[in-house]
Every structure is written in C-alpha cells, then in structure tokens.
C-alpha cells in the first residue's frame, strides 16, 4: 500500500497546503490552475480585512472572504472578536451553501446568529462593532436561515454604506 503524500510544510515545520484551489476553496490536483488564495501570513487592519472580504463576497468567493475575516477575528479581542467570528462563520456558511451543503451552511449561520444575540441593538449602546452593523448581519442571517433553497440568498454586505467611522 502506498503511503499518503507528505503534507506541505513551511520553514518552521507548520502544515501548509500549497495545492491550488477553486473559487470555493476546494483543493485542486497539483499542477492545476487555481484562483489566487490569501497568503497565510497576510496581516491587514480590521477595516482593510472587511473591505477585502467584501471584494471576495462580491466576486462569489466566500471561502476567500472567510480567510481574511478569520485573520482579523484571531487578532482581535472582546466584542470585536465576537462580531468578526460571526462574520467569518457567515462567510464559511456561504461557502457550504455554494458547494450545495445547505445543512452545514445553516449550522454555521445559526452559530453566528446565536453569538450575535447578546450584541443586538438595544443590548449594547453602539450596534456597530468592528465597523460592522450587528443589526445588519443579524437581519442577513435571519433571511438566510429562512431560505428554503428555492430562491437566491440576499447579497451579504459587510461594508457600512457610510464607510468606517
């Protein structure tokens, strides 16, 4: 029996996946032409992460949006990290939905919705955290969770219409 191929590793020995990926983040065979991915060492400010995630969402690349949001979430704390985690889970849910996994999408959207509940308007003075509208994200999640799969999902808009304050 042949042994599995060795995992790609960086100079420090950390696992890396150098395989090309498609628009939805699925690994392609080595040597295939994939779409550019987000470098694992990319460091962006929170507003720049949200801007880049929106570009990815607008070009039907939710997997890539989740990657930049995850970097911002993991470098944040408190309520900001909580909102960025929910936005990341929302993008991962979109990835699952786009791949035909409605059950997985709904599970992630439910987790994101539940984690935002304590931050809903009325429970905190400012409903915009990390530049994101908590009410807007909750509303999108409500619509997505109500979707039966018979209609398109509404566009996920992370960028506030008036920019970042």
88-98 pLDDT, tens digit per residue, is: 999 999 999 99
Distance between CA atoms of 57 and 158, rounded to whole angstroms? Answer: 9
| pLDDT, position 101 | 92
Q: What is the pLDDT of residue 14?
A: 55
Give the domains, in start order, of the chain with CATH numbers. 46-146 (1.10.3450.10)
Q: How far is CA 9 from CA 5, 18, 25, in A?
A: 12, 9, 19
- Packing angle, helices 78-98 and 134-146, rounded to 10: 30
**98 touches 24 (CB < 8 A):** yes
pLDDT given at position 31: 79
d(CA 33, CA 153): 29
């Amino acid at each position: 029996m042949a042994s599995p191929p060795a995992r790609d590793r960086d100079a420090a020995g950390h696992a890396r996946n150098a395989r090309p990926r498609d628009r939805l983040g699925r690994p392609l065979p080595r040597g295939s032409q994939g779409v550019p991915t987000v470098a694992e060492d990319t460091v962006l400010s929170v507003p720049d992460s949200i801007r880049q995630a929106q570009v990815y969402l607008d070009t039907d690349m939710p997997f890539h949006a989740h990657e930049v949001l995850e970097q911002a979430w993991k470098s944040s704390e408190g309520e900001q990290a909580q909102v960025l985690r929910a936005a990341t889970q929302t993008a991962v849910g979109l990835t699952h939905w786009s791949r035909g996994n409605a059950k997985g999408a709904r599970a992630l959207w439910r987790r994101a919705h539940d984690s935002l509940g304590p931050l809903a308007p009325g429970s905190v003075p400012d409903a915009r955290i990390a530049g994101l509208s908590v009410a807007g994200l909750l509303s999108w999640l409500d619509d997505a969770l109500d979707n039966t799969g018979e209609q398109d999902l509404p566009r996920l808009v992370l960028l506030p219409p008036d920019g970042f304050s």
